[in-house]
Amino acid sequence: MHKHATPPLPSKGLCCVPLLAAAGCDWGALATLSAQEGLRGRPFANIFSLSDGPPGPCGGSGVPYLYLTDMEISVQDLEVNSNASLTVSLAQTPYCRKHRYDPQNPLCAHIIFVGSIVKVNDTEAGLAKKALFSRHPEMESWPKDHNWFFAKFNITNIWVLDYFGGLKIVTPEEYYSAKP
């Protein structure tokens, strides 16, 4: 066992780790395949604010929502190919600081979601707006002429790195049915 190892996070099971990370992380690194001249087809990562629901113990749905504009370079990539990966890390939460874990330490859990970005329909837009604006109130005042829209990350694959020994796979079904 690693000299700085503590029991894996959390004690409720592997499927809870990505759900807790989605609920606790306010931003993530979104990787696309670039559609930009000179970078076409190459990986391109960018930081985006996100939310899976209002803060609090019952606020998160597990669905990562984003507030996007076509003016953003990664969104332009997504218009050509909506496939992406989204990485969130507990390094942005008090958990890793409290335990003095370096962000690259496997004990400072990080989750890699793979899937696609889709615009939400009118029915889901209210939920996305509440989820995002409750965690990122500044968004509400962003320039209207940028034609912002709500989108979600449609998860197809989930990889979890929360302990030594490599990545673990969690299915979307396990993820959405987990109870933190």
The length of the chain is 180
Segment 161-171, tens digit of pLDDT: 999 999 999 99
Q: Which residue has the tokens 């959405």?
A: 176
DSSP β-ladder status, 65-68 and 168-170: unpaired
- pLDDT tens digits along 2-31: 333 344 455 456 767 888 888 889 999 999
The whole-model pTM stands at: 0.89
Instruction: Give the SS3 label for residue 121.
Output: coil
Domains (range + CATH), the chain: 16-167 (2.30.110.10)
- Residues 24-81 have pLDDT tens digits of 899 999 999 999 999 999 999 999 999 998 776 556 789 999 999 999 999 999 999 9
| Other residues' Cβ atoms within 10 Å of the Cβ of residue 146 | 12
